[in-house]
Chains A and B, each alone.
Chain A
Amino acid sequence: MNKQAAVIGLALVPFALASAMAFAAWEAANGIEAWRMIGTTLAWIVSFAIGTQIFWRSVERLASNQSA
């Protein structure tokens, strides 16, 4: 059960990362409104995708620790 809870905890990483990066992009792109929206959306999507890859690598590490 602890390992299942760890997976649930790790699953928060993509959302947290994406939200933080989207906020950073929003603050950084303080010029034309349209570019600000596009930049923020792209930052969210790309960070979320990176976050899910971090999640999967961490799960694989957790699984290999278990089988070792």
Chain B
Amino acid sequence: MAVALVTSYSIAKFEIRSFPARGISGVDVHKPDRPVRAEMGGLAVLAALALASLFYFGIDFTLDGPPVLFAAAASTVVLTGMVGVADDTHELSQRFKPLLIVAASAPLMLALAGRTSITFPILGNVHLGILYSVVAVPLAITTSANFSNLLAGFNGLEAGSATISLGTMTFISEVTGHPTVAAFGMILTAAYLGFLFLNWYPAKIFPGDTGTLVAGAALAAMGLAAGLEFEAIILSVPAAMDFSLKAIDRRPFKQRHVFGNAVVGLDGILEPAPYPALVHAFMKVSPLDERGLVISVLALQAVFALLAVAIALIFI
């Protein structure tokens, strides 16, 4: 865990110094002076996952049951991260990107080929047969990755949300008897926490699509690997709400291009853009600066995290 945290922090520090000079940067549109900051910080999380995984396998190779799920989940997450890198550097088309993430799900599809059912609280076992690995796994990874890519754009929001949701899944995986998945989650939680120190308001670096896609894919991968699909769904609810608000509109998913971003005043207070979105809901009801907004959204994420833990413990 310490390896992941230190690696992520150190590499993000390096990115802050070197990426803007290479043109890997973006404008912080929610600051009055619109500073330029390093982009694609999610690469630090991926590097932390790779290095910390080496340590994990070195220390715990024989103690923890079959490591195939760990390797498959890590492969899927890293491949999804590569899609994010391609998107950050070459702006992939919105039609092509989901197909690449489906392809990135292949390691987890193969590792879970023998599983045929999902367990839901109250409903019990829902038998899906071969559809579990062929349809449910790629659908979950792609949906979750794209959801977390939508609820983004404010300092600390993506990394904070990832830390809460992946930390929660780690805790639930551990208490429900899935130590391999818990180890995988612990590495990623620490990696996002290390990155969060530099991404928190006022951010020195942005996660980019690399960071957001990895967070979503990792959440789904943990849910699938540990058989905690319902808990992963609960943790995805804030992002799913944002998706739903943007989808049911006269201009689905085109609103940002038409209306632009939330506008920031000289006093730092955000004015919501005129279209439905989860972040705009918080801005509409009372004056908020960027830091206050992110704390509110993270509080919402924490409420769903508590709900996921409660349901997991009740139906254990």
Contact = CB atoms under 8 A, between A and B. Distances in A.
Contacts of A53: 248
Contacts of B296: 4, 7-8
Contacts of A1: 286
Assign chain A's interface to a size class: 20 to 34
Interface stretch (B11-19, B121-129, B258-266): B121-129
A15 B241 CA distance: 9
Interface string B239-260: 0110011011000000000000
Contacts of A23: 122-123
A52 B244 contact: yes
Contacts of B307: 15
Size class of the B contact interface (CB-based, 8 Å): 20 to 34
B281 A66 contact: no
Given A4-B299, A8-B299, A11-B238, A56 B285 contact: no
A26 B122 CA distance: 10
B313 interface: no
B281 A7 contact: yes
Interface of B: 122-123, 126-128, 234, 237-238, 240-241, 244-245, 247-248, 276, 278, 281-282, 284-286, 288, 296, 299-300, 303-304, 307
Interface of A: 1, 3-4, 6-8, 11-12, 14-15, 23, 26, 33, 37, 40, 48-49, 52-53, 55-56, 59-60, 62-63, 66
